[in-house]
Chains A and B, each alone.
Chain A
Amino acid sequence: MRPVRDIPPVPGRRVLLVGPAAWTFRPRTIVVPAIGALLLVLVAALNIAHGSSNIGLLDVLRTLLGGGDRRENGIIFDLRLPRTLAGVLVGAAFGLAGAIFQTIARNPLASPDILGITWGAGVGAVALIVLGGTGGQTSGLVAELGVPLAGLTSGIVTGLLLYALSWRRGIDGYRMVLVGIGLSAVGYNLVYWLLTVGDVDDATRATTWLVGNLAGVGWAAIGPTALALAVLVPATLVCAHTLGGLQFGDDTARGLGIRVSTARGTLLLLAAALAAVATAAAGPITFVALASPQIALRLARTAQPPLVGSMVLGALLTVSADLTVRLVAPDLPVGVLTAVLGAPYLIFLFVRGRRGARA
């Protein structure tokens, strides 16, 4: 970078140069995800170490790096790693989706759980379990891929509906939250209607999925999820460079040369797809998408949720919740704990009002 004479530097901005590429950052937006990632590795290792046959933390790390014996390899790679990995992937996807939704709506309430994306994904998945199954015998390929795929599709359709219904010469964040609450209610009721229609076995299976559960996630579900995120996450991060401008009113954003409707529509769809992929893999684990962007924002002290920070915190929150549940009540699905945490947090957001709760 050529030094600029006579002109004081712009405070609070540091520049990261990689060849012709350059990004600005604040130290905190790097430090927060870095510490978060370290904690994540620790919690993930603890989560893998804990179980019916305890394996030491160091043995876990050694096995993960390829130095485990047969028994350790079997337990860790076949049984425990998928569950933890699923937590990381799903949590990161929820965190990023929440950060995008909250930034675009300029409302900390705007998260896929509130906006109906999660319930929308639920409708597709439950419909397939209940209607497509053959008397509780939904299994094989239909169960492994069909349910996630149905969830993904209906989640994205809900995202499109949300966009279409809240569009009136532009998108207004408040209207989007209201429309989303409506969509959420429709999805919720459809799911429960489907449960009453289906037979008992299907309904039981659907209910386990509906509370958000990492226990049943195996390698078969992780592959497609990881693949989908490998496409969606970079695409979202690239498209996100318009987010700063989009946070101003439409006129200002257009004045800055942003094609507002296209940019906003693309980001909303990407965020809906992220949330739908995560929901499809592990069911609707609530609260993660709502809280992790807001926690990341406060820790990094930025005006909008930091994207990478939200991802790391989402993963950390999900795996920590999973570990807590496994330590305290091994039979409880992780979604129950996050839902229990989510309710007081929502009340806190309402009480704080607009001040301090920003996006």
Chain B
Amino acid sequence: MSQTRLRAEGLRLGYGERTVVDDLDLDIVEGSITVIIGPNGCGKSTLLRALGRLLAPRAGAVLLDGKRIDKLPTLEVARVVGLLPQAPSAPEGLTVADLVSRGRHPHQRWYRQWSAADEEAVSRALAMTGMDEHAARVVDELSGGQRQRAWISMTLAQDTALLLLDEPITYLDLAHQVDVLDLVHRLHTERGTTVVMVLHDLNLAARYADTLVAMRDGRIVAQGPPAEVLSEQLMSEVFDLDAKVLSDPVAGTPLIVPISAHLRQSAD
């Protein structure tokens, strides 16, 4: 159960001249939900892209089940690791059913583009997100929440043991945010899916994560269970934010309440 599925070793990542992440180590344990948090530009998404072999490391390596992910055939990786990039885009006129069906690509060959397993995985993925009733609709006519659920369905249809989600709830209202995260949690409990995601909402991160990874300037500042990681000191260290950490009355997890500058002035 506590076997490492995905491991980053001495990772250095960057774009062009710029180094974003340097000498980073991280273990993703089987069956866990890991949430990466940190301020804008701290390298969260870059790290997630590297874990999903979308970005080649400058130094170090990403290991999937002990093997270098960049040395494995990419189709083989796609049957184990599913990923949802930030703001994915679909061609105009594509139906939800077609979008989700394309998640089956790694399981298909050019001469076998559909199978019973494909049918089952796509139907199940549509049903899990409640998108089955919208399956015949065109993606660009959906609301933001429905569209995000359609994309998540595509990732689910890929039927992978690991899921990497880059800000899966950013454009959703609070109710839909909770819906999506509940879905992720269900996958985790029902299928034992290992999840790594980047989230901005710290309170939701604290509620759903087994492990929180707090990053700043391309380094991991703290990692562990939310109750250990989220402290008032960490808030100022990572986010330069004055905040109080209370206990979430619903979940019992840490609840971050920021102390805004204008409130502090009026209190003085």
Contact = CB atoms under 8 A, between A and B. Distances in A.
Nearest to A4: B120
B201 to A, nearest CB: 23
Nearest to B132: A8
Interface stretch (A14-22, A124-132, A307-315): A14-22
A342 interface: no
**Chain A binding surface SS class:** loop
Given A23-B114, A303-B93, A248 B105 contact: no
Contacts of A303: 91-95, 98
B116 interface: yes
A251 B93 contact: no
B57 interface: no
Interface in A231-273: 238-239, 241-242, 244-245, 247-249, 251-252, 254-259
- Name, among A7, A24, A252, the residue most crowded by chain B CB atoms within 10 Å (CB to CB): A252
- Name, among B49, B74, B83, the residue most crowded by chain A CB atoms within 10 Å (CB to CB): B74
- Name, among B83, B98, B100, the residue most crowded by chain A CB atoms within 10 Å (CB to CB): B98
Contact of B112 (A10, A22, A252, A258): A22
A128 to B, nearest CB: 37
A302 B97 CA distance: 12
A238 B108 CA distance: 13
B167 to A, nearest CB: 13
A83 to B, nearest CB: 35
B126 interface: yes
- Name, among B49, B114, B122, B155, the residue most crowded by chain A CB atoms within 10 Å (CB to CB): B114
Nearest to B83: A255
Contact of B103 (A2, A256, A258, A359): A256
A270 B123 CA distance: 35
B145 interface: no
A7 to B, nearest CB: 4
A249 B89 contact: yes
Interface in A321-359: 354-355, 358-359
Interface residues of B, number: 52
A223 interface: no
A9 interface: yes
Nearest to A242: B105
A66 interface: no
B78 A7 contact: no
A115 to B, nearest CB: 19
A11 interface: yes
B101 interface: yes
B88 A4 contact: no
A10 B119 contact: yes
A12 interface: yes
B101 A13 contact: yes
A1 interface: yes
B85 A22 contact: no
A223 B242 CA distance: 78
A254 B114 contact: no
Contact of B116 (A2, A242, A258): A2
B127 A256 contact: no
A304 interface: yes
Contacts of A23: 113-114
Contacts of B193: none
B93 A4 contact: no
B207 interface: no
B136 A254 contact: no
Contacts of A255: 52, 54, 78, 81-85, 155
Contact of A1 (B82, B91, B116): B116
B53 interface: yes
B95 A24 contact: no
Nearest to B82: A255
Contact of A358 (B91, B101, B126): B91
A358 B93 CA distance: 8
A2 B100 CA distance: 21
Contact of B102 (A244, A251, A302): A244
Nearest to A297: B93
A355 B138 CA distance: 14
Contacts of B83: 251, 255
Contacts of A2: 116
Contact of B78 (A106, A256, A359): A256
A303 B97 CA distance: 12
B91 A24 contact: no
Contacts of A7: 119-120, 123-124, 127
B110 A4 contact: no
A12 B137 CA distance: 11
Nearest to A7: B123
B111 A21 contact: yes
Given A7-B124, A244-B105, A248-B91, 16 more contacts: A2-B116, A7-B127, A11-B97, A21-B111, A22-B112, A241-B109, A242-B105, A244-B98, A247-B91, A251-B83, A254-B74, A255-B78, A256-B103, A257-B79, A354-B92, A355-B92
Interface of A: 1-2, 4, 7-13, 15, 20-24, 106, 238-239, 241-242, 244-245, 247-249, 251-252, 254-259, 302-304, 354-355, 358-359
The 3 A-B residue pairs with the shortest CB-CB distance, nearest first, are A257-B78, A257-B75, A251-B85
8 contacts: A2-B116, A9-B123, A22-B113, A24-B113, A251-B88, A255-B52, A258-B105, A303-B92
